[in-house]
Amino acid sequence: MKRINVGIIGCGSITKFRHAPEYKANPYVDEIVFYDRNPERAKALAEEFGGRTVTSVEELYNDPTIVAISDCSSNESHHINSTNALLNGKHVLCEKPLSVSIKYAEKILEAQQKSGKNLMVDHNQRFTKAHQKAKELLEKNELGEILTFKTSFGHQGPESWGVDKSNATWFFKKERSHSGVAGDLGIHKIDLIHYLLDDEIEDVHAFHGALDKVDENGNPIEVCDNVVCAMKTKKGRLGTASFSWTYYGSEDNSTTIYCQKGIIKIYHHPDDQLIVEMKDGEVIKYQLEQIQTNDNQTSTGVIDSFIESIINDQEPIVTGKEALTSLKVIEKILS
């Protein structure tokens, strides 16, 4: 079995908690090469996960043993780093969102086309077991045509996460977050709906606003903390979507797909992550995932899928084009 080396640009949390450990666990990955503007951060990860560091991105580009690169740089740099990596002949896994504007995103896609290398974007909702199972059921078409859908993604807000737990979080800043809850949570569900329905949201009506969150000075935040949408797809399906940072109870990560012969309910019940209700009263409950504890953290599956696409020379499961399509829906929502 041939193994490959990978490079990582940017050594923040997403690298530490997702990219580095999942690359390390992947049997096809030989060595991880870390780069960060701050060399200390790169060194820390190299110590924790093994591998080595470089002091410039060019070293990554010029190293012929490095086959693939994770672009975990901050959002405003993706169109520079991912583009260069691709043009230097590397496969790229770019963190979400693909870019801060449609124009820049298109530039990355052009680089991908030119290079012929794989470009994948980290939309990880597709990879959960329940979404995979829903996709499988829908592809088998046992429930008939899809008619309508509902999807939600909401929790108590990003300021309650992390070590700091402060309202000064970058999520609340216009210049860094750009799109508030729409870009933070909404884009995940837009991508998911495109994937599950094998369709594209063509038309969207939405309201959005900063209804409750305040910044560290007690002023309403500059980005939206809630979005509600009515949607129509190219194939004519209708649906609603709600994205929120103000669900002050349990998290809602649910999606429901209404078909001609039954209904698929995803993440409505903690034990049975997917439930199918049939027209004749049959109910089928899927227990797909163990309760996660600190001891059995599961992988997102994204890294494995990216590596698999390289090894098997296949198109990645989330392409740059798909990521662009989702970005455009977010733009429409916020316009």
158-184 core/surface letters (b: 16 or more CB in 10 A; e: else): bbeeeeeeebebebbeeeebbbbbbbb
Minimum gap (Å) between residue 48 Cβ and a copy of itself: 23
Nearer to a copy of itself (CB atom), residue 76 or residue 331: 331
Minimum gap (Å) between residue 142 Cβ and a copy of itself: 10
What's the DSSP call for residue 4?
E
Amino acid identity, residue 132?
Q
Sign of the Cα torsion 169, 173, 178, 181 reads positive
186 binds a copy of itself (CB under 8 A): no
208 binds a copy of itself (CB under 8 A): yes
Considering only residues 106-135, where is the footprint of a copy of itself by CB under 8 A?
Answer: 129
> What gap in Å lies between CA 89 and CA 96, rounded to an integer?
21
Q: What is 189-248 written as a DSSP string?
A: HHHHHHHHHTS-EEEEEEEEE--S-B-TTSPBPSS-SEEEEEEEETT--EEEEEEES---
> What gap in Å lies between CA 287 and CA 274, rounded to an integer?
7
9 closest CA partner among 43, 45, 33:
33
288 binds a copy of itself (CB under 8 A): yes
285 binds a copy of itself (CB under 8 A): yes
244 binds a copy of itself (CB under 8 A): yes
Nearer to a copy of itself (CB atom), residue 190 or residue 310: 190
Name which position in 281, 291, 292, 297 contacts a copy of itself (CB under 8 A): 281
| Stretch binding a copy of itself (CB under 8 A), from 13-21, 70-78, 224-232, 314-322 | 224-232
Whether 253 and 186 have beta carbons less than 8 Å apart is answered as: no
Nearer to a copy of itself (CB atom), residue 89 or residue 236: 236
Q: What angle do CA 80, 81, 84 make, to 5 degrees?
A: 85
> What gap in Å lies between CA 307 and CA 32, rounded to an integer?
13
290 binds a copy of itself (CB under 8 A): yes
207 binds a copy of itself (CB under 8 A): yes
229 binds a copy of itself (CB under 8 A): yes
239 binds a copy of itself (CB under 8 A): yes
Q: In 10 A of CB 82, how many CB atoms?
A: 32
Considering only residues 152-171, where is the footprint of a copy of itself by CB under 8 A?
Answer: 152, 154, 156
Nearer to a copy of itself (CB atom), residue 19 or residue 188: 188
Whether 106 and 78 have beta carbons less than 8 Å apart is answered as: no
Name which position in 174, 284, 298, 314 contacts a copy of itself (CB under 8 A): 284
| Stretch binding a copy of itself (CB under 8 A), from 33-41, 76-84, 226-234, 320-328 | 226-234
Amino acid identity, residue 115?
S
> What gap in Å lies between CA 317 and CA 155, rounded to an integer?
27
258 binds a copy of itself (CB under 8 A): yes
> What gap in Å lies between CA 309 and CA 23, rounded to an integer?
14
| Stretch binding a copy of itself (CB under 8 A), from 23-31, 106-114, 185-193, 205-213 | 205-213
Name which position in 150, 321, 328, 332 contacts a copy of itself (CB under 8 A): 150
Per CB under 8 A, residues contacting a copy of itself are 129, 145, 147-148, 150, 152, 154, 156, 203, 205-209, 211-212, 226-232, 236-242, 244, 246-250, 258-263, 272, 277-279, 281-288, 290
